[in-house]
Amino acid sequence: MRCSVIGNAGGGKSILSRAMASKTGIPLHELDNYLWKDNWDSVPPEVFEKQHREIIDTESWIIDGFGLPNTIEPRLRRSTRIVFIDLPIWMHFALAAERQAVWKQGKLTHPPGGMKAAPPTKILFELMWKIHTELTPSVNQWVQQAAESECVVETVHTLDRLRELQFNPMSV
């Protein structure tokens, strides 16, 4: 299985991806771990792109996250399963705000990218809005194209369905 779990920040991608990896034993690759260095400094694009190519060229993986925009479409084309967490943007903002608060209290058990410090909330929210307005339309198109092939696609629009998948990750 080659599974892409994608969606905006705060939507529950990492929780679902970890549950899927635990259930299947398939290697999990959280793209935040490849994309960011300490203090939220980004790695050079060519470094990330090389690592990404090496991952998607393997036969079995679960990949959590968007990564760089130019890497999304090739990954989705290679996927045999896609979970697109596409909650309403206000819900992504609310969930991300909740995560920011827990993180700042030092109680976040699995921070994105393994970072000790949360990203500045204003910058995070600006990025989330940019993803929502500029990237999500293309992602919707790529996901639709994948659904027309042999790829199994689930687009998640509600928290109830997200929770069901987190509890039973292989019900996609």
Provide the domain limits for residue 96. 2-171
What are 51-84's pLDDT values in tens digits?
999 999 999 999 999 999 999 999 999 999 999 9
pLDDT at 163 over 80: yes
| pTM exceeding the 0.85 threshold for the entire prediction | yes
What are 129-151's pLDDT values in tens digits?
999 999 999 999 999 999 998 89
**How many residues comprise the chain?**
172
Backbone angles phi, psi at 155, to 5 degrees: -105, 125
What are 22-50's pLDDT values in tens digits?
999 999 999 999 998 888 888 999 999 99
CATH of the domain at 86: 3.40.50.300
Q: How far is CA 56 from CA 51, 66, 87, 170, in A?
A: 9, 13, 26, 21
- Please state the domain count of the chain: 1
